[in-house]
């Protein structure tokens, strides 16, 4: 098996994980979680999203979260925006790394952002231009790339055409999201074999959900293709509020255990990360989807 020596983990629980929780999460707990993740060695954290609180109430404190974090100089703190207003808010809040993405499914696009695919691409170009003017680092990507709960499989031609349009923009990182968790390892390898040659030196991030239990298998398939950046979430938190049945992201602790056991370094202390998940489990008052966060015991599993 051809595996990389190191992998970069992007923690998304404090955005993707929290956005679907019905119980309001206090700002101080969000901030404490972000700071604890940084202390655990996580070097890229998606801290919030600048969206309308009417649609995602959990993100109503985006500015306060950004203002309250004690930032470490070697950690990238990013945020999501869905429109130009969100880009402006993120910049004003001191966010220098912005995440933008659009769906390859017209139905999902309309339900998620109330615009068609054509409108979404037009809006994306405007957001990229605005963020570029503000000298923000840009991660831009596509959602539902392995299938849509509403439309089923996505035509490869459509996906590649949209990807090429994004590649023509001034972006720093490209991302692919299995928003519905419909991917399998063969699909992952087939898609990456078509996309990676088009990317050149642009890094690609894979955002996997574990809806059908294939998340980590898909991660290994991507590793074998040369992908070294992955979104994960504490204890498998997450999901999409506009996709029925969408389960959480691949769990950070499960991913770390798998990578470390295969000799792939991340620079992250799995025991410290698990403590973050245990605190969230206690607050949310339920067992979370991940497995390893409950098995990690003190420093025995640290890496």
Active site residues: 240
Q: What's the CA gap between 193 and 180, in Å, rounded?
A: 21
Site of tokens 């439309």: 151
> Would you give the distance in Å from CA 235 to the centre of its chain?
14
Q: What's the CA gap between 160 and 301, in Å, rounded?
A: 41
Q: 62 near 25, Cβ under 8 Å?
A: no
Q: 229 near 10, Cβ under 8 Å?
A: yes
Q: What's the CA gap between 191 and 296, in Å, rounded?
A: 34
Q: What's the CA gap between 302 and 271, in Å, rounded?
A: 5
Nearest alpha-carbon partner for 289 in 302, 280, 298, 297: 280
Task: Give phi and psi for 23, each to the nearest 5.
Answer: -75, 120
Alpha helix locations (H) across the chain? 27-39, 62-68, 84-92, 106-113, 117-133, 156-167, 185-199, 215-225, 252-261, 270-284, 292-295
Give the N- to C-terminal CA distance of the chain in Å, as an integer.
22
């Amino acid at each position: 098996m051809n595996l990389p020596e190191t992998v970069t983990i992007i923690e998304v629980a404090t955005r993707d994980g929290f956005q679907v929780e019905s119980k309001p999460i206090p700002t101080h707990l969000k901030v404490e979680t972000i700071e604890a993740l940084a202390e655990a060695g996580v070097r890229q954290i998606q801290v919030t999203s600048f969206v309308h609180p009417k649609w995602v109430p959990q993100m109503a404190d985006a500015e306060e979260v950004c203002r309250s974090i004690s930032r470490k100089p070697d950690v990238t703190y990013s945020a999501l925006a869905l429109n130009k207003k969100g880009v402006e808010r993120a910049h004003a809040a001191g966010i220098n790394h912005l995440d933008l993405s659009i769906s390859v499914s017209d139905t999902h696009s309309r339900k998620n952002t109330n615009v068609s695919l054509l409108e979404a691409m037009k809006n994306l170009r405007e957001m990229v231009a605005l963020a570029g003017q503000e000298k923000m680092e840009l991660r831009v990507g596509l959602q539902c790339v392995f299938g849509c709960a509403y439309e089923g499989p996505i035509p490869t031609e459509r996906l590649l055409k949209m990807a090429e349009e994004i590649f023509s923009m001034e972006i720093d990182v490209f991302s692919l999201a299995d928003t519905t968790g419909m991917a399998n390892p063969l699909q992952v390898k087939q898609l990456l074999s078509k996309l990676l040659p088009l990317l050149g030196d642009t890094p690609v991030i894979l955002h996997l959900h574990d809806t059908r239990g294939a998340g980590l298998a898909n991660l290994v398939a991507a590793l074998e293709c040369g992908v070294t950046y992955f979104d994960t979430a504490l204890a498998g938190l997450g999901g999409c509020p506009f996709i029925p049945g969408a389960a959480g992201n691949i769990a950070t602790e499960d991913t770390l255990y798998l990578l470390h056991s295969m000799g792939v370094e991340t620079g992250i202390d799995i025991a410290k990360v698990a403590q973050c998940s245990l605190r969230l489990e206690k607050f949310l008052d339920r067992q979370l989807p991940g497995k390893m966060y409950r098995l990690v015991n003190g420093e025995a599993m640290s890496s």
